[in-house]
Amino acid sequence: GQYKRIRGCYEGVLTGKGLSYGGSLARTQATGYGLLYLTNALLKDHGIDIAGKTCA
């Protein structure tokens, strides 16, 4: 919302956005799984195990 208002565009939508904000008709879970895959890969690159980790 705010980025689109200021910049007039809405690149980089990650999750849960409506179609008018660049969202997708794909399953809502798909983005979450992709984010988890990316997070796990980043942690692994830094030698950190994802087991037991939480986020807010």
pLDDT at 19: 75
Give the domain extent around 30: 2-45
Domain count for the chain: 1
Q: Phi-psi category of 35—alpha, beta or left, where left has phi over 0 and alpha has psi -120 to 50?
A: alpha
In contact, 14 and 31? CB cutoff 8 Å? yes
CA distances from 51 to 28, 44, 54 (A): 24, 11, 9
Give the separation between CA 56 and CA 53, rounded to whole angstroms: 11
Q: Is the residue at 56 inside a domain?
A: no
Q: Is the residue at 41 inside a domain?
A: yes
Tokens representing 4 are 């689109």
pLDDT at 43: 95
Q: Is the residue at 54 inside a domain?
A: no
Q: Is the residue at 37 inside a domain?
A: yes
- pTM, whole model, 2 decimals? 0.48
Q: Is the residue at 51 inside a domain?
A: no
Q: Is the residue at 53 inside a domain?
A: no
Q: Is the residue at 55 inside a domain?
A: no
* pLDDT of 14 strictly over 70: no
pLDDT tens sequence across 23-45: 767 666 776 788 888 899 999 99
Residue with tokens 């565009």: 9
pLDDT at 40: 92
On average, the pLDDT of the chain sits at 79
